[in-house]
Amino acid sequence: MPAAERTRPRRLPWALAVRTVVPAAYAAALLAGLFSPSAGIRPAALVVLAGFTAHYVWRLHRATASPEPGDLDRVEVGVLTVLALETVLKALAIPAPWPLAAHGAAVVALSPWLPPAGLLALPAVAAGLRPQDLVPTLLALEALAVASGIVAWAERRRREKLRVAYEKLQRDAATLGARAPAELGARGGLVRIDETLFRFLTALKERVRAHTALLVLRSGDGTLYIRELVSDHHGGIREDAQIRLDATAFHWIVRNAKPLIIGDLRDPAARLGYYASRVPVRSFAGVPLLGPDGVQGVLAVDGLGPQAFGEAQVTALEVAAGLVGEFLEQIRAFETVKREARDFQHLHEFSRRVSEFSSQGEVLDLLLTTLSQRLGPPFAAVAVVGGDRRLRLEAVLEPWAHLRGQEFGPDDGLAGWVLASRNYLHYAEGRGNTRRPLFAPRIRVPEFPSLLMYPLQAHGEPVGVLCLGHRQPKAFDRSAVEFADVLAQLAGQALLQLRSLEQLRELATRDPLTGLWNRRAFLDRLTAELSRARRYPSPLALLLADVDHFKRVNDRYGHPAGDQVLRAVAATLRSLARETDLVARYGGEEFAILLPSTDETGARALAERIRKALEAEEIPWEGRTLRVTASLGLGVAQDGDDTPDALISRADQALYAAKETGRNRVVAYSDIREYASWGT
């Protein structure tokens, strides 16, 4: 035989060797007293401890990071935990009976996670590490392990039953059209359905003398699940089984929509799918449960003897299937009416509440809250169109709230396409061939199998895009699509109405030529700031600026040139003021700058910067350059008892002094005494 074809002996994988040798060697070190207080702290002990700790952390991470760790991995972590605990007990020389109590606590803590055999192995490991107390330690810990194992088994059994019941409830919700599993089970609805089906299948089993009778329904994704089952067989029945359509007798019934009789059944566990072990079942009969959308399930029975069912039993099954179909159709119709009533209530409440809102954020928050309550999407976001026609994510559900504030262009992704086309977009099972991002390539969002996007618009004007994503395929049925459509229309109208109101407010409070606040808005803000300064004592300053010799500009170059000068002056004032300041056109060529939390020194410094900036500014106009200067008067609120008229009067008197003493200068009200010779 050539050397290349010789069979080499299988070597033990290095990882398995390490996992075996390290615990054994460390246990030997513990028995040798390496970590006893009398041995002291030795370098060798520290090296062994560091190696064991690294190994323990490695195995613990591997076991806990895996969604379904194997039994061997669980037992290994349990053994390593006992070794680590014994290290602490020996190093601290903990006296009896505390070591036994500590190991007992570890056994109890690990009992829900370990398999029964592994749980019984832990006391043996703990007792072996304490040979002086081997027998009593072993007996006590084994008894505790058995008790903990029984309690853990009962808890796992209870949780498994709850899981099966909840999964069945979820599939019922999808099959019967309920909005959410909790609603189908509310007020005893699920209990009444269970009782009715159980009694019905019990009577059917006795009528056709069957061993088992069961109702199998088809869920939204096409899989079959056992809705109800009545059997004389005790144990070994998979009531929570999702029947594989390509591997059982149910496949033929669903595919052909015809009854099926099997008189000599071989291997019922494989052919039927709901038995977990070998059973003496020899006959099977099943009929399709027909509905408006085709086959919606199977009603079936099985028997112990061969050729147990004939035409008479199949006829009885067909009659029963018709009754079950009518019963389920009534439930489905009832659930549809309830869902439509709930949807109408949601939409009515949304429409009522948005009419009371005064901000875009309130509308978007209510929109996402309503969608979460009705559809429960893991992902929901709203992008709003800005003044530059770019879109901005203004509302996003957790855990993607960090995307809020991101901006993107109308051509960057699917959201822009929805906005431009004015049509909704619905992907039920992935996005097909398109690889376009939802918003933009740089905005990272998972690819959801179910995707629903709507333009938010009113009267043909787009204001934003609504995006919903779900991890489950076909998560948004027809009713969900219709609900989201109506809600998107209501939200679009509300946003457009708020935008129109905001524009009206702008017209009422903004100067149309310069874009600054107008005199009315300035006086309202001045009153509010004076009131705030009284409540929370803080300085408040006011600047009044007047363009010098503005009439000459109008007379020489015309009023359009004067308008250009006013716009340029307004831009300069806005660029030098803080965000908390208010810049307004007070009237004609006069401007006001309100400075909260600013004393006379700070206001004088800003006024001087404004004066110098205007003096240096070159204003282009029809091929020539215009230059202007400005005079500024400064008034500061005093003693917290000022009125708007008093503060304006001080600033106006200071402005008059600035113009009378040469223009292009800053004068504060406190400086007026220096100009007492006016008019003399």
CATH number assigned to the domain comprising residue 626:
3.30.70.270
Q: What is the DSSP letter of 37?
A: G
d(CA 633, CA 543): 6
How many folded domains does the chain comprise?
A: 4
Q: What is the pLDDT of residue 302?
A: 94
Residue 296 and residue 218 share a domain: yes
CA 239, 245, 246, 250 torsion-angle sign: positive
Residue 378 and residue 331 share a domain: no
Strands (E), 369-422: 379-385, 391-396, 407-408
d(CA 592, CA 577): 11
Residue 521 and residue 481 share a domain: no
Per-residue tokens: 79: 């053994």
Instruction: Tell me the mean pLDDT in the region 526-544.
Output: 89
- The pLDDT-based confidence of 9 (bands split at 50, 70, 90) is very low
Residue 193 in contact with residue 171, Cβ under 8 Å?
Answer: no
Instruction: Tell me the mean pLDDT in the region 215-243.
Output: 76
Residue 332 and residue 250 share a domain: yes
Instruction: Tell me the mean pLDDT in the region 207-213.
Output: 91
Q: What is the pLDDT of residue 246?
A: 59
Per-residue tokens: 283: 């006959």
Residue 469 in contact with residue 447, Cβ under 8 Å?
Answer: no
Residue 456 and residue 323 share a domain: no
Residue 539 and residue 400 share a domain: no
- The pLDDT-based confidence of 91 (bands split at 50, 70, 90) is confident
Q: What is the pLDDT of residue 27?
A: 77
pLDDT over 50 (residue 169):
no
94 contacts: CB under 8 Å, gap ≥ 6: 102
Q: Is residue 571 part of a domain?
A: yes
Q: Is residue 343 part of a domain?
A: no
Q: What is the pLDDT of residue 574?
A: 93
Q: What is the pLDDT of residue 633?
A: 96
CA distances from 254 to 48, 222, 239 (A): 64, 10, 19
Give the other-Cβ count within 10 Å of 599's Cβ: 13
Instruction: Tell me the mean pLDDT in the region 154-172.
Output: 58
Minimal CA–CA distance to 156: which of 215, 115, 216? 115
Give long-range contacts, CB 8 A cutoff, 24+ apart: 613-619: 613/572, 613/576, 614/569, 614/572, 615/664, 617/568, 617/572, 619/564, 619/565, 619/568
DSSP H or E segment with residue 468: strand 461-470
What is the per-residue DSSP string for 77-128? HHHHHHHHHHHHHHHTTPPTTHHHHHHHHHHHHHTTTS-HHHHHHHHHHHHH
Residue 528 and residue 503 share a domain: no
How many residues comprise the chain? 680
d(CA 265, CA 261): 10
Question: Helices 43-65 and 71-91 sit at what angle, rounded to 10 degrees?
Answer: 150
- The pLDDT-based confidence of 186 (bands split at 50, 70, 90) is very low
Per-residue tokens: 635: 């008034």
Domain stops at, among 336, 371, 386: 336
Q: What is the pLDDT of residue 7?
A: 40
- The pLDDT-based confidence of 54 (bands split at 50, 70, 90) is confident
Instruction: Tell me the mean pLDDT in the region 571-587.
Output: 93
Minimal CA–CA distance to 449: which of 383, 377, 401? 377
Per-residue tokens: 662: 């040469």
Minimal CA–CA distance to 611: which of 593, 595, 586, 598? 593
The 10s digit of each residue's pLDDT in 416-435 is 888 888 888 888 876 655 67
- Between the two ends of the chain, the Cα-to-Cα distance in Å is 130
pLDDT over 60 (residue 236):
yes
Residue 458 and residue 552 share a domain: no
Q: Is residue 620 part of a domain?
A: yes
Residue 428 and residue 280 share a domain: no
pLDDT over 60 (residue 296):
yes
Tracing tokens 């659930």 back to the chain, one arrives at: 335
Residue 31 and residue 135 share a domain: yes
What is the per-residue DSSP string for 535-602? HTT--EEEEEEEETTHHHHHHHH-HHHHHHHHHHHHHHHHHHS-TTSEEEEEETTEEEEEEET--HHH
Per-residue tokens: 674: 């220096």
Residue 589 known to be catalytic = yes
What is the per-residue DSSP string for 271-299? HHS-BSS-----EEEEEEEEETTEEEEEE
Q: What is the pLDDT of residue 18?
A: 74
Q: What is the pLDDT of residue 31?
A: 74
d(CA 236, CA 272): 13
In DSSP terms, which residues pair with 289 in a beta bridge?
Answer: 297
- The pLDDT-based confidence of 582 (bands split at 50, 70, 90) is very high
Domain stops at, among 507, 535, 558: 507
Question: Helices 360-374 and 311-354 sit at what angle, rounded to 10 degrees?
Answer: 170
Residue 185 and residue 124 share a domain: no
Instruction: Tell me the mean pLDDT in the region 410-414.
Output: 88
CA 173, 175, 179, 185 torsion-angle sign: negative
Of 116-120, 160-164, 332-336, 634-638, the poorest mean pLDDT is in 160-164
Q: Is residue 326 part of a domain?
A: yes
Residue 588 in contact with residue 528, Cβ under 8 Å?
Answer: no
Minimal CA–CA distance to 301: which of 318, 323, 278? 318
Q: Is residue 346 part of a domain?
A: no
Q: Is residue 311 part of a domain?
A: yes
Residue 636 and residue 619 share a domain: yes
468 or 58, higher pLDDT: 468
Q: Residue 212 maps to which CATH number?
A: 3.30.450.40
Minimal CA–CA distance to 632: which of 542, 499, 497? 542
The per-residue pLDDT of the chain, averaged, comes to: 81
Instruction: Tell me the mean pLDDT in the region 574-585.
Output: 92
The three state secondary structure string of 251-270 is HHHHHHCCCEEECCCCCHHH
Per-residue tokens: 40: 């002291």
Gyration radius of the chain's alpha carbons: 41
In DSSP terms, which residues pair with 383 in a beta bridge?
Answer: 393, 465
pLDDT over 60 (residue 185):
no
Q: What is the pLDDT of residue 584?
A: 95
CA 383, 385, 391, 393 torsion-angle sign: negative
467 or 460, higher pLDDT: 467
d(CA 286, CA 309): 10
Which residue type, as a one-letter code, is found at position 56? Y
The 10s digit of each residue's pLDDT in 308-346 is 998 888 888 888 888 888 887 777 776 677 777 788 888
pLDDT over 50 (residue 178):
no
- The pLDDT-based confidence of 631 (bands split at 50, 70, 90) is very high
Q: Is residue 448 part of a domain?
A: yes
Q: What is the pLDDT of residue 182?
A: 41
- Cα 674–chain centre separation: 67
pLDDT over 50 (residue 446):
yes
**What are φ and ψ of residue 364, in 5° steps?**
-70, -40
Beta strands 630-636 and 540-547 are antiparallel
**Looking at 142, 589, 600, 617, which residue is catalytic?**
589
Instruction: Tell me the mean pLDDT in the region 451-460.
Output: 86
What is the per-residue DSSP string for 302-328? EESSTT---HHHHHHHHHHHHHHHHHH
The 10s digit of each residue's pLDDT in 349-404 is 888 888 888 888 888 999 999 988 888 888 999 999 887 788 999 999 888 888 88
Domain stops at, among 98, 120, 155: 155
pLDDT over 90 (residue 632):
yes
Note down the domain range covering 269: 181-336
**What are φ and ψ of residue 417, in 5° steps?**
-65, -45
Q: Is residue 3 part of a domain?
A: no
